[in-house]
Each structure stands twice: as C-alpha cells, then as structure tokens.
Amino acid sequence: MSNNYFEIIRAGINTTFQDRGRCNLYHIGIPFSGAMDNRNYLLANRLVGNKLDTPVIEFAYQGPLLKYYGDKIYIAITGDVIFKLKNKDNEIVGNCYESYQLENGDEIDILSTNKSVYGYLSISGEFNLKPQWGSFSINTKANIGSNDGKKLENNQKINISKINLSQGKNKINYLNSKVENIRVLKGTNFNYFSEEGKKIFFKKEFIVSKLSDRMGMRLEGPKIDNIVNTNIKSEGLLKGVIQVPADGNPIIMLSDHGTIGGYPKIGVVASVDYDRLVQMSPGSKIKFKEINLSDAETLFKLYEMETQNLLSQI
C-alpha cells in the first residue's frame, strides 16, 4: 500500500472531484454534473499524462492549500488561476498550463481564480476514490459521487492510489478568451414573451448575479415580460437552458441543475459557448446573441477541433 497523499490545510470555497460526469440518469432526477469547463478539465489531464477521463480537483474562486506527502509526483493547474508552489527553501508563483514536480513536504497554495470562476488541479496518477453511477463527479446538492458526495473539507486527507511518471515536464501556451457575448438558440417557449421582452433578451446587457453556483446562474437586468403563462407543465431541463420565472429575471441551468422544471424556456446556450459561460463571475456583463441550429452545430465542431488540436500539442 502506497502512502502518498495531500493534507488539506485550507479547502477553498467549493472544491470537488470532477470528471466527465454521469449519463442516462435524467429520468430518475440525476444530472450530468462533471467538470464545468470541459476544455480546461481535459487539458489538466493531458498535461500530466493521464487518460482524459481521470477525475481532477475542481475549485471555484479561492482554491485549496494542500501539503503533499509522498513520492515524486507531477501536478498541473488549468484555468486562469493565481497560485504558489512552496517548498522548505523557496516559494514560486506558478504558471497555469505547465506541469510541476512535487516532493515530500511541498505545498500548493491556490489563491484565486482571476476574473473567472473555475480552475482544475490534476496529478500524474489517480486519487483513491469510489465512483457512483459511472462517475467520480461530486454533486454536493444531492450528495452523489466520490467523497460521499460532499465538497472537500479542511484537515481532510486526499489519498493517492497510483503515481505515473511516464510523462515528464509539460507545458502549453494557452489563453482563456474572455467574452461578453454568449450565443443562444431560441427556446421552446420563446413566443411566451412580449415583443419588447424578446428584444430585451437579445439586445440588452445582463449582469451575472452572486446567486450563481454549479446548479445555475441567475442574471439581473431589465425584466423580460411574459404574455402567455409564467408556468409551463413541468418538463425536462438541460444544462444551458435559460428559464424566465414570473419575476422576469433569467436563470441559466448549469451542470448540477434540477432535471425537471416548470418555467418557460426563452433560450438555450449554444454548446460552443458553455465553457466560457461558466467562467463568467458575478458582476460580469453578459449579452445574448441569437444563433441558428446549423451554425451552432458547425461552431461546436470547430471548437472541438480546436480542443483536440490543443491536446495534441502536449
């Protein structure tokens, strides 16, 4: 039995294990979950030579402070993250998209994400975790997934079951693009809203509110007026669906969303923009741009090619 582990000195705000998420459980009320920003999740794994579906540590805003005990291991951090690496002799400011070697007693201090929300920490190897329904992803609202479905806590130990040093030091140049425009397809209840409301939705600016988490993102701004019915017969939801309840403020469903909902759907975020959407922190401005289905499909293909291209450079 190996004895490699991290001690969590400070857990951070919302630190969980995430992978690609779990499928085919919507009908019993369980969402996909999984890493919010899929591209950064994949890059984190590739930088340390892991299989791409290996679970990583996801953090939001302030990340964890971890002390490492054990044999030599590589780590990498992706996203737009400010962090430090400390050993007994010195302290350096780390770069995202670059792997670092840790030795016994070293510390990783993930101070914060920079004008973004989520970041990822991967290790060259595997955490000692139990999957649930085919995924290690933690859904803290339903207590589903590894770590008993709970976020990581101070003083907890994170055991590492396997270390893989086959790949040496790695790095890639990558910059997360910051955007204001999010492309949206019209939703199934688009015509529930007044002409003025439709115009507001696609022309005006909204602000990401503080009431945003892995379940959903609430927006503030001009109210969107409903002229048909502020409720629909409850039906399925998806990540990216934008619902407008009676108060006229849009809510965007994110990866841990409830699977059924009864508010009208004004739009759905195009898959190509999902990774960028989730990184918009409270206070960010957001504008919706209408896109049709075939353009959304084409742009997603291009985004996927770009992701594959980045992965192949490592």
Partner 1 sequence: MIKNISNLGDAALYCDFGTEVNKQINSEVIKYFNTIKEKNIKGINNLTPSYNKLIISYDLRIINFNEIKDIIEKLNVTETLKIVNKNLEIPVCCDASFSLDMKRLEKKLNLSQEDILSNFFGKEFFCYMTGFIAGLPFLGDLDENMRVQRLETPRVKVPKGSVGITEQFANIYTYESPGGWNIIGNTPLKLFDSSKEKDPNLINPGDTIIFKQITLEEYENYNE
Residues in the site for partner 1, rule: CB under 8 A?
23-30, 32, 132-133, 141-144, 149, 185, 187-188, 233-238, 240-241, 258-261, 265, 268-271, 293, 296-297, 300, 304
Query: Which residues share a beta bridge with 184?
Result: 269, 290
CB of 11 to partner 1, least distance (A): 22
β-pairing verdict for 181-186 and 285-290: parallel
Task: CB nearer to partner 1: give 6 or 288.
Answer: 288
Task: CB nearer to partner 1: give 49 or 187.
Answer: 187
Q: Which tokens go with 136?
A: 């290690």
CB of 159 to partner 1, least distance (A): 22
Cβ neighbour number for residue 34 with a 10 Å cutoff: 25
CB of 271 to partner 1, least distance (A): 5
CB of 237 to partner 1, least distance (A): 8
Task: CB nearer to partner 1: give 168 or 236.
Answer: 236
CB of 115 to partner 1, least distance (A): 27
Task: CB nearer to partner 1: give 7 or 53.
Answer: 53
136 CB burial (10 A radius; 0-12, 13-18, 19+):
buried
Residue partners of 104: CB distance under 8 A and separation at least 6:
68, 69, 70, 71
Task: CB nearer to partner 1: give 4 or 146.
Answer: 146
Query: Which residues share a beta bridge with 5?
Result: 69, 159
Residue 11 identity (one-letter amino acid)? A
Task: CB nearer to partner 1: give 22 or 198.
Answer: 22
Residue 267 in contact with residue 288, Cβ under 8 Å?
Answer: yes
Q: Give the whole-angstrom CA distance, residue 307 versus residue 5.
A: 31
CB of 193 to partner 1, least distance (A): 17
Task: CB nearer to partner 1: give 142 or 165.
Answer: 142
CB of 183 to partner 1, least distance (A): 10
Instruction: Supply the DSSP string of 77-142, one letter for each residue.
Output: EESSEEEEEE-SS-EEE--TTBEEEE-TT-EEEEEEESSSSEEEEEESEEE----BTTB---BTTT
Query: Which residues share a beta bridge with 85?
Result: 92, 108
Phi/psi for 11 (5° steps) reads: -80, -25
Task: CB nearer to partner 1: give 65 or 276.
Answer: 276
CB of 152 to partner 1, least distance (A): 19
3-state secondary structure of 18: strand
